[in-house]
């Protein structure tokens, strides 16, 4: 596809990224009559679902909820085959959406934005790419994703490994056949835990290198039949309304009581019900589960018993039971047969807490007490979350300051949407918004709608720029920090806290007050004439 002629006049909007947020931004902003163009590093749409093709990749939000709500026809016509959709089905869905709304024509693919610089005299952004584009635009919408910049730990000798090397977040499109191979997986977050059972089915031997154990709840995935699909579709409006008012963007609410005020029998019955429902919702069985350590301990004990009941060797179960964070304060993983994998003869758990990795060499991994010979190595080591993708673009604001400099002590936004000193730059599901704590598709829609309305407001009032005031950013940071401090989340060494990246400032990045609450705040800000933003 050839690019449009960028030289005739400034674009209205450059969209960075063609994942779920960038795709909707392209649709919504075009519908508003704006001249929009997007750049995407991948060769196709889908973002996370384009890149994360590792075996077992599956969404942990139910498929009917993890889908666009903006088009009633779209949500009625698409048929999900499973309760929790796997990556190939989600990518087909996103490809379908791109075709149906002609979104691909708005993007240049295989192209990474390298820099964006604001010019105060013309109130425009100059955006340059690694494909040689040099484009002027009134607005920039960063739909760059929260988990899109791979973290590959700098382990001594990493480059010397003689076998195949993969990162779960950038999996080969043609798939990988591990048959007959000795495979090492480093990392036991969602990506590692989801891929282990499938790699174990193929590999001659699988070594799972675990630094910290994580809590995982079985997905309880089931096929969806016509009857179930019809039931959900008949009630879609109500389901969406509940999701949009909820804390996490799906139609499930916690029991408002404390886990400690009900009897043990009632509490365990509630946990059992959530456990069967599957996935991360277990963390929200009772309202105080992630704010009261004693309430949390009851959920942790329940999960521990579940792990022990599956894993045959209790010494291995001991290692698989987390002991360094309250349950739910790192994202609970949604798995299929993860713990069962450790009952296989060809799977070994390598405990890095007792014997850390010392080096990678040509033949494999050397820990403090052994050497593991490997044919293939899988880094399931996560991402430089929430700030990584923005950090690698040279974004320069009004005074020439870079976003990187502005965020040197941690990300500073107002509502996660805008940054002081960076007029007309919008971030979708950025730090300071519910983002990764919510259903990312509904969160992206809410943000993009807000951004589109803001641009409409500017255009209909002859206003050139919108930029959060310094005070609004300070106040919002305090608000986010106050809300996070009232929970157990800051006590975990999670990627929410930036703790997985050496040297990254330690700050709880998402807004934890809930998706519904947050949406109301954004609506209220707009209704009050964009309170906290300077309009010029
Ligand atoms: O990454 P992670 P992820 N040596 O950061 C380990 C979403 N997601 O890709 O905990 C040894 O969670 C690290 O150990 P530790 C979801 O939101 C969703 O799995 O730092 N180990 C950890 O075990 C998720 O939370 C789905 O001690 C090292 C692992 O690598 C987020 O993406 C599926 C190491 C990284 O875990 C990220 O998940 C997949 C080192 N030097 C992802 N460095 C769904 O289900 C890191 N580790 C929708």
Ligand 1: atom nearest CA of 155 is 41
DSSP-assigned letter for residue 181: -
Of 190, 148, 167, the C-alpha closest to 428 is 148
The rounded distance, in Å, linking the Cα atoms of 67 and 389 is 23
Nearest CA to ligand 1 atom 36: 189
pLDDT at 7: 77
The rounded distance, in Å, linking the Cα atoms of 190 and 186 is 12
Ligand 1: atom nearest CA of 192 is 19
3-state secondary structure of 272: helix
- Asked whether 29 and 37 are in contact (CB, 8 A), the reply is no
Around ligand 1, the residues with Cβ closer than 6 Å are 58-60, 147, 153, 155, 168, 186-192, 194, 211-212, 331, 334, 352, 357, 380-383, 436, 495, 500
Nearest CA to ligand 1 atom 22: 187
Indicate whether this complex's ipTM tops 0.95.
yes
- Asked whether 141 and 14 are in contact (CB, 8 A), the reply is yes
Q: Tokens 């209704």 label which residue?
A: 527
Of 43, 44, 20, 17, the C-alpha closest to 127 is 17
Angstrom distances, CA of residue 320 to CA of 312, 341, 465: 12, 12, 52
The rounded distance, in Å, linking the Cα atoms of 357 and 156 is 9
- Asked whether 487 and 514 are in contact (CB, 8 A), the reply is no
Angstrom distances, CA of residue 193 to CA of 89, 268, 372, 400, 453: 20, 25, 20, 43, 40
Tell how far the Cα of 495 is from the centroid of ligand 1, in angstroms: 8
Contacts of 189 (CB under 8 A, 6+ apart): 214, 330, 331, 333, 380, 382
The DSSP bridge partners found for residue 396 are 117, 402
Tell how far the Cα of 243 is from the centroid of ligand 1, in angstroms: 26
Nearest CA to ligand 1 atom 6: 187
Choose which residue among 65, 188, 191 to substitute to test ligand 1 binding: the one with the highest number of ligand atoms within 8 A of its C-beta.
Answer: 191
pLDDT along the chain (536 residues), means of 10: 78 98 98 98 98 97 97 98 97 98 98 98 98 97 97 97 98 97 98 98 98 96 97 97 95 93 97 92 94 98 98 98 97 96 98 98 98 98 98 97 98 98 98 97 98 98 98 98 98 98 97 97 98 98
pLDDT at 5: 82
- Asked whether 160 and 339 are in contact (CB, 8 A), the reply is no
The rounded distance, in Å, linking the Cα atoms of 186 and 80 is 32
Tell how far the Cα of 496 is from the centroid of ligand 1, in angstroms: 11
Count of residues in the chain: 536
Tokens for 179, please give them: 């048959």
Nearest CA to ligand 1 atom 17: 331
Angstrom distances, CA of residue 521 to CA of 127, 141, 160, 251: 31, 20, 51, 20
Q: What is the pTM of this model?
A: 0.97
For 337-424, strand residue ranges (E) read: 347-351, 357-361, 364-367, 371-373, 376-379, 394-396
3-state secondary structure of 190: helix
Tell how far the Cα of 497 is from the centroid of ligand 1, in angstroms: 13
The rounded distance, in Å, linking the Cα atoms of 15 and 204 is 45
Q: CB under 8 Å, gap of 24 or more: what pairs does 318-323 form?
A: 319/210, 319/213, 319/349, 319/351, 320/210, 320/213, 320/349, 321/213, 322/212, 322/213, 322/214, 322/215, 323/213
Q: In this structure, are strands 333-335 and 107-108 parallel, antiparallel, or unpaired? A: unpaired
pLDDT at 1: 62
Neighbours of 407 (CB within 10 A): 19
Tell how far the Cα of 287 is from the centroid of ligand 1, in angstroms: 26
Ligand 1: atom nearest CA of 193 is 19
């Amino acid at each position: 596809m050839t690019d449009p002629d960028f030289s005739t006049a400034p674009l209205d909007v450059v969209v960075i990224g063609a994942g779920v947020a960038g795709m909707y931004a392209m649709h919504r902003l075009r519908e508003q009559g704006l001249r929009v163009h997007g750049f995407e590093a991948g060769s196709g749409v889908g973002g996370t679902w384009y890149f994360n093709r590792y075996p077992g990749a599956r969404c942990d939000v139910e498929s009917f909820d993890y889908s666009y709500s903006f088009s009633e026809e779209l949500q009625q016509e698409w048929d999900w085959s499973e309760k929790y959709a796997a990556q190939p089905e989600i990518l087909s869905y996103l490809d379908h959406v791109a075709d149906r709304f002609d979104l691909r024509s708005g993007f240049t693919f295989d192209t990474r934005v390298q820099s964006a610089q604001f010019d105060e005299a013309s109130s425009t952004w100059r955006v340059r790419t690694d494909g040689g584009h040099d484009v002027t635009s009134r607005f920039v919408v960063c739909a760059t994703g929260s988990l899109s910049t791979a973290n590959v730990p700098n382990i001594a000798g990493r480059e010397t490994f003689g076998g195949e090397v993969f990162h779960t977040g950038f999996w080969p499109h043609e798939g990988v056949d591990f048959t007959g191979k000795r495979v090492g997986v480093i990392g036991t977050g969602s990506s590692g835990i989801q891929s282990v059972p499938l790699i174990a089915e193929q590999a001659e031997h699988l070594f799972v290198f675990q630094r910290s154990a994580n809590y995982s709840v079985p997905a309880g995935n089931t096929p969806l039949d016509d009857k179930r699909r019809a039931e959900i579709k008949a009630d879609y409006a109500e389901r969406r309304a509940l999701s949009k008012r909820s804390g996490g963007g799906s139609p499930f609410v916690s029991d408002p009581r404390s886990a400690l005020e009900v009897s043990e029998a009632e509490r365990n019955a509630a946990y059992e019900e959530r456990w069967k429902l599957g996935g991360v919702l277990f963390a929200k069985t009772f309202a105080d589960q992630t704010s009261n350590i004693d309430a949390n301990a009851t959920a942790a004990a329940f999960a521990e018993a579940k792990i022990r009941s599956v894993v045959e060797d209790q010494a291995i179960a001991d290692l698989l039971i987390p002991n360094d964070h309250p349950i739910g304060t790192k994202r609970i993983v949604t798995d299929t047969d993860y713990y069962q994998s450790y009952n296989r003869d060809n799977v070994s758990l390598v405990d890095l807490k007792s014997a850390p990795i010392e080096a990678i060499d040509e033949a494999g991994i050397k820990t403090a007490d052994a050497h593991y010979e490997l044919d293939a190595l899988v880094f399931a080591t996560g991402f430089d979350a929430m700030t990584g993708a923005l950090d690698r673009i040279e974004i320069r604001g009004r005074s020439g300051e870079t976003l990187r400099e502005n965020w040197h002590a941690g990300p500073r936004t107002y509502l996660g949407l805008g940054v002081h000193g960076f007029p007309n730059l919008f971030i979708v599901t950025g730090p300071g918004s519910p983002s990764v704590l919510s259903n990312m598709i509904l969160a992206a829609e809410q943000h993009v709608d807000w951004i589109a309305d803001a641009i409409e407001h500017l255009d209909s009032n002859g206003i050139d720029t919108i930029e959060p005031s310094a005070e609004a950013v300070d106040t919002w940071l305090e608000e986010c920090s106050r809300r996070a401090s009232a929970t157990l989340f800051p006590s975990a060494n999670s990627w929410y806290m930036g703790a997985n990246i050496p040297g990254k400032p330690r700050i709880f990045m998402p807004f934890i007050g809930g998706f519904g609450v947050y949406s109301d705040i954004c609506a209220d800000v707009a209704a009050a004439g964009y309170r906290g933003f300077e309009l010029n």
